[in-house]
Structure 1
Amino acid sequence: MEHFAPHPSSQFEGYYSKFDLASGSHIALIICSVPGAKSRPHMVSFTYYPSSGHPIFQREHFVDNIERVTTDEKTKAFDLRVPGMGVMSTEGNGRTSYNFAAEDGSWSLEAQCEEDYMPWRKDKSTPEGWMVHLPFPLHWHVHSLCSPATFTLDIPALGDAFPAQDRKSRATIHQEKNWANSFPDAHMWVQAWDNEEKRGICLAGGKIMYNTAYMLGYRSPSLNLDFVPPFSVSYLNLLSPFMSATNDWDTRTFSISVSNYTHKLELKARAPKEPGWFGLASPFPDGHRANFCRESFIATIEARIWVREGWWPWSAWKEVKTERWEGASLEFAGGYYPERGESKKD
């Protein structure tokens, strides 16, 4: 909970909530602040994403203020209050509720987590582990992999194009947070979850501190794996004994192979060029820069997992799992997204 709670001294702080609706549609809600920025310091971004990937409804509200209020010092419960728009409220047990309505009446959302949230791991509350305390230029925290919730959604701006099954139903929520100085120059993000089989994967990383580094977590009923630095790093973008990664915006593909002393994982993600991509603003010291991220929620992710058969570094690998997810998330951002910037029209 302490990593999800506000960090008042950070130069920026952003909360990302992705709702997977029972119909197959999705909602992405971002609440982000760069308190010292002169332009666009505060943003609430709302995206409604149909299961087909079209048509996407999006509003980015650059608001006057977002209040980060700790409501219980002991449990670190807190509110994110957007004057005139609504509140995201998190309890001490990690459960979160949302109550937002756009001032122009174009959309509104109410949601409530039903049970305790599902953390990154029971024995490790954040992907970074002990590294969360280091002075990195950016920190990435996953608060919830998949929390069950109920919601009520209204999008009058869509009129009859808004399906009845998405007005009030059940969902699961994936929740993340970034904080520190600013977004990296280039990064990738991949996320998928199968709620019926309780298996999922989540990855984030890119260029940071003259290196390329990723953090990856795989979850299933029988196997839980994390791959983090010093294994998942390309040092000075030249030396990478345990990891290789490639991305190509033109073909909308990303792949990574990473290992540690006991396990190896290969991941391949791809998404169709059209439809299904939407832009997002990213926080930088000068404020939110529009269209610096590009996301799809109709990606396909494939993963293969091996275990080392012996204790020696040269011991052979044995394949133990092959996984596949449809309707997954794939994001290119910054330098990995060549069409970034405000000239791109969504």
Structure 2
Amino acid sequence: MNFLWLCLSFTITLTSGNRFDPHVFPKRGPFFEGWYIRLIDSDNGNSIGLLFGQVLPDVSKTVNKYPPVLCSILVRSCSVTGCRLISHDASFNSSDLKVRVKGKPIDKNPDIASPVNFTWLAKNSASFVFFQTNVSSSSFRVKFDNVSLDGELSSPVPWGPDGEGPGGWVDEFPLPLHWFVYSLRSSIVSYKFKKHKEIIFEGRRGFAHMEKNWGKSFPKAWIWSEGISPNNVTYAVSGGPVQFGPLPITAYLLGYRNPLKNISTNFHPYDSYISAKYDGCRGFINITAKGLLHSVELFVTAEMSSFSRCLYGPETQGFRQVCKESYDASATISVYKFKALIDKQFLSNVALEFGGENVCGGCMSHKP
């Protein structure tokens, strides 16, 4: 789950941070923090997602009974007619959650000088979620009523040096919403997904994408996509309409990596021209990004039958159903240096998401 860079503020925060670590929650909401991991099995092309997070509601508005803490396991369910993404969800009270940094309660926001090191534990009578990570590995154990997911990942391949994320230097500003990619392709050490105690998927090869969002709420509309190829090509893109003070603006962030060709390029609203065409009812996005040296054309598409029903995302009153996602998308990427084509890739098993007002048919519980 997954958004985004948002509008600038004019006051710089002194906390920069390795932004994957937990933040201190304010005394009053709205505020949320959430993590997202997607596993891609190299042996069978299968993909499994894990997301978990917490919302501090805005108590100045009418309080609705939406869960403040949620975890979802996203699994492709396939038949002879095709595959579709299915979500298994568990909700918790805030009192069920314990988050620790280096084994201690959180007393400060993350800083770049400190390596990532935290645990996230949510537990009630029906469900259990445990995630831990440090500079060299990450692991998780999740058990709901009839499904479970266990896994271990290797050290991260970061988006950029010194804690750099998709937003670049604007991540130093206190934005109302942040999108941070912690790892472009951590290796899978092992994973196992069970349903009714039967092993449905397991593996020891592949890659994982790891990211985090935090801020006030997911916005009224967005698009997001991410892909990893067997030869380590990776990309991630997110964006949509945002509110900059009284003015609505549109902002997108895009990053592309091909280590075999020594290509690593990022595009931001402040240094690039980025345009997007998309249709949530036809299942595609088409991004054109032009920077000073490189330009990228990205086309991602998926069959509408492969998209999930509405998935949960954080809003000001808690987690609500706000987006649809597919793990069966494909992406075509063309990279130019000046006007010369220097790289062209086709990626399968790509993730594609439409959120908020971009969801075809909408989500009944979503209110901008």
**TM-score using structure 1 length:** 0.85
Deviations 1:101-153 (A, max 9, x none): 11x2x11111111x321111246531122211212211000011111121122
Quote the offset at 1:167 in angstroms.
3.4
> What is the one-letter code of the residue matched to 1:36?
P
> What is the one-letter code of the residue matched to 1:263?
H
> What is the one-letter code of the residue matched to 2:55?
V
- The runs of at least 4 aligned residues of structure 1 exceeding 4 Å deviation read 50-53
Residue aligned with 2:337, SS? strand
Residue aligned with 2:171, SS? helix
The answer to whether the Cα contact below 8 Å between 1:231 and 1:243 also exists between their aligned partners in 2 is: no
The answer to whether the Cα contact below 8 Å between 2:85 and 2:326 also exists between their aligned partners in 1 is: no
> What is the one-letter code of the residue matched to 2:234?
G
1:255 is matched with 286
How many Å separate the matches in 1 of 2:185 and 2:102?
24
How many Å separate the matches in 1 of 2:44 and 2:77?
9
> What is the one-letter code of the residue matched to 1:304?
S
1:24 is matched with 45
Query: Quick one: which of 182, 190, 198 aligns to 2:217?
Result: 182
How many Å separate the matches in 2 of 1:307 and 1:169?
37
With over 3 angstroms needed to count, the CA separation of the structure-2 counterparts of 1:51 and 1:318, relative to structure 1, is farther
> What is the one-letter code of the residue matched to 2:191?
F
How many Å separate the matches in 1 of 2:365 and 2:20?
34
With over 3 angstroms needed to count, the CA separation of the structure-2 counterparts of 1:56 and 1:251, relative to structure 1, is closer
Query: Quick one: which of 330, 333, 357 aligns to 1:335?
Result: 357
The answer to whether the Cα contact below 8 Å between 2:47 and 2:349 also exists between their aligned partners in 1 is: no
Quote the offset at 1:229 in angstroms.
2.0
Q: Is the counterpart of residue 296 in structure 1 residue 326 in structure 2?
A: yes
How many Å separate the matches in 2 of 1:171 and 1:319?
29
The answer to whether the Cα contact below 8 Å between 2:84 and 2:308 also exists between their aligned partners in 1 is: no
Query: Quick one: which of 186, 197, 201 aligns to 1:147?
Result: 186
Following superposition of structure 1 onto structure 2, how do residues 121-136 of structure 1 map, counting pairs within 5 Å? 121-122=160-161, 125-136=164-175
Structure 1 residue runs without a partner (length 5+): 233-241, 309-316
1:192 is matched with 227
How many Å separate the matches in 2 of 1:269 and 1:214?
15
2:54 is matched with 33
Quote the offset at 1:51 in angstroms.
6.8
With over 3 angstroms needed to count, the CA separation of the structure-2 counterparts of 1:87 and 1:259, relative to structure 1, is same
1:238 is matched with none
Quote the offset at 1:83 in angstroms.
1.5
1:88 is matched with 131
Residue aligned with 2:102, SS? strand
Query: Quick one: which of 33, 47, 50 aligns to 2:74?
Result: 47
Following superposition of structure 1 onto structure 2, how do residues 1-346 of structure 1 map, counting pairs within 5 Å? 2-9=18-25, 11-21=31-41, 22-36=43-57, 38=63, 39-50=66-77, 54=83, 56-65=85-94, 66-71=97-102, 74-84=114-124, 85-91=128-134, 93=135, 95-102=137-144, 104=145, 106-113=146-153, 115-122=154-161, 125-149=164-188, 150-156=190-196, 163=200, 166-194=201-229, 196-209=230-243, 210-221=248-259, 222=261, 223-232=263-272, 242-290=273-321, 292-308=322-338, 317-342=339-364
Structure 2 residue runs without a partner (length 5+): 1-16, 105-113
**TM-score using structure 2 length:** 0.80
> What is the one-letter code of the residue matched to 2:352?
L
How many Å separate the matches in 2 of 1:13 and 1:252?
28
Deviations 1:212-264 (A, max 9, x none): 111111000221110112145xxxxxxxxx22211111211111111111111
How many Å separate the matches in 1 of 2:228 and 2:39?
11
Aligned residues: 316
With over 3 angstroms needed to count, the CA separation of the structure-2 counterparts of 1:167 and 1:307, relative to structure 1, is closer
With over 3 angstroms needed to count, the CA separation of the structure-2 counterparts of 1:143 and 1:190, relative to structure 1, is same
Bigger relative CO (Cα 8 Å, ≥ 6 apart): 2
The answer to whether the Cα contact below 8 Å between 1:25 and 1:51 also exists between their aligned partners in 2 is: no
How many Å separate the matches in 2 of 1:321 and 1:32?
37
Deviations 1:60-102 (A, max 9, x none): 21211332211257544111111240310111x1521101111
How many Å separate the matches in 1 of 2:22 and 2:207?
23
Deviations 1:275-312 (A, max 9, x none): 3434311111111111x11101111111111112xxxx
